[in-house]
C-alpha cells in the first residue's frame, strides 16, 4: 500500500507565508473595501447595538443618483421575498431579487419583521436603514448581527451608499468563525452594493 505523502517543510512554510500575507496585507483592505479610512473607522448609526463586535466590515460605493432614488430599493430589501440583492440562491430561496420598485409596501419601521429572521432596528427615509438579528445559530458559532446602510451626498453630485456589517460571535470557535466569514461578507457586500448602484442608476435613465 502506497504511503500517503506528507506536506514538505517548504509547503508548510509557503502555506504559513500565504496565511500571514492575507492577515497582514489583504485582510485590512477587505475590512474597508472602497472606503476611505476616515469612514471605515468613524462611528456610524447602529454601532451602539453591538458595542464590541468581533467582526466589522465597512464598504462604500458612489452612485450617480440622489438619495431619494436609492432609498426605495433599500426600503423593500428583505421584505416579502423582494430579496437582498445578493446570494439569492441562499438568502431568498432561489427567488431572484426584485428588479423593479414595489409600490405596494409600507415604509419600513423599527420592529418590522424581515425575511431570514431579521427585523428593522432603525429606518430614516433616504438616510439610514439598520436591521439585524440576535442569537442566530451559524454552524460553529451563535451570533448577534446588524447590517447598516447610510446615504450621504457626494461633494460633486450623486450619493455615497455606505454599508457596515457588524457581528458578535459567541462560543469557543468565535474567532475562527469571524476569520472565515470576513472574506465571505466582503465579497457579498461588494456584489450587493454594485447591484444597488446599477438598479438605482437605471431608474434614473
pLDDT tens-place string over residues 130-160: 999 999 998 899 999 999 999 999 988 999 9
Answer whether residue 31 is part of any domain: no
Answer whether residue 28 is part of any domain: no
3-state secondary structure 15-82: HHHHHHHHHHHHHHHHCCCCCCHHHHCCCCCCCCCCCCCCEEEEEEEEECCCHHHHHHHHHCCCCCCC
Regions of the chain with pLDDT less than 50: 14-16, 18-25
Instruction: Give the pLDDT of residue 100.
Output: 94
Answer whether residue 6 is part of any domain: no
CATH, residue 95: 3.30.530.20
Cα 140 from Cα 137, distance rounded (Å): 8
Range of the structural domain that residue 113 is part of: 37-204
**Cell numbers that stand for 165 in this block:** 456589517
Answer whether residue 16 is part of any domain: no
Answer whether residue 68 is part of any domain: yes
Instruction: Give the pLDDT of residue 41.
Output: 73
Provide the H-helix boundaries in 127-204.
Answer: 174-204
Work out the mean pLDDT of the chain and round it to a whole number.
86
Instruction: Give the pLDDT of residue 24.
Output: 46
Cα 162 from Cα 193, distance rounded (Å): 9
| Count of structural domains within the chain | 1
The model's pTM is: 0.85
Answer whether residue 30 is part of any domain: no
178-204: per-residue pLDDT in tens? Answer: 888 889 999 999 999 999 999 999 988
Instruction: Give the pLDDT of residue 19.
Output: 45
Cα 161 from Cα 63, distance rounded (Å): 7
**Cell numbers that stand for 75 in this block:** 426600503
Instruction: Give the pLDDT of residue 199.
Output: 97
Answer whether residue 51 is part of any domain: yes
Answer whether residue 150 is part of any domain: yes
Amino acid at each position: 500500500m502506497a504511503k500517503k505523502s506528507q506536506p514538505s517543510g517548504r509547503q508548510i512554510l509557503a502555506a504559513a507565508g500565504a496565511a500571514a500575507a492575507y492577515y497582514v496585507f489583504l485582510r485590512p483592505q477587505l475590512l474597508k473595501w472602497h472606503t476611505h479610512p476616515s469612514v471605515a473607522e468613524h462611528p456610524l448609526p447602529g454601532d451602539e447595538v453591538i458595542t464590541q463586535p468581533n467582526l466589522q466590515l465597512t464598504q462604500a460605493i458612489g452612485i450617480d443618483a440622489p438619495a431619494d432614488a436609492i432609498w426605495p430599493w433599500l426600503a423593500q430589501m428583505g421584505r416579502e421575498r423582494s430579496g437582498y440583492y445578493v446570494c439569492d440562491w441562499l438568502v431568498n430561496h432561489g427567488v431572484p431579487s426584485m428588479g423593479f420598485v414595489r409600490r405596494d409596501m409600507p415604509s419600513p419601521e423599527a420592529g418590522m419583521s424581515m425575511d431570514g429572521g431579521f427585523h428593522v432596528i432603525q429606518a430614516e427615509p433616504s438616510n439610514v436603514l439598520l436591521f439585524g438579528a440576535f442569537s442566530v445559530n451559524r454552524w460553529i458559532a451563535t451570533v448577534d448581527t446588524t447590517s447598516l446602510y447610510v446615504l450621504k451626498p457626494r461633494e460633486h453630485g450623486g450619493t455615497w451608499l455606505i454599508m457596515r456589517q457588524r457581528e458578535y460571535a459567541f462560543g469557543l470557535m468565535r474567532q475562527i468563525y469571524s476569520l472565515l466569514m470576513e472574506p465571505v461578507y466582503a465579497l457579498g457586500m461588494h456584489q450587493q452594493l454594485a447591484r444597488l448602484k446599477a438598479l438605482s442608476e437605471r431608474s434614473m435613465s
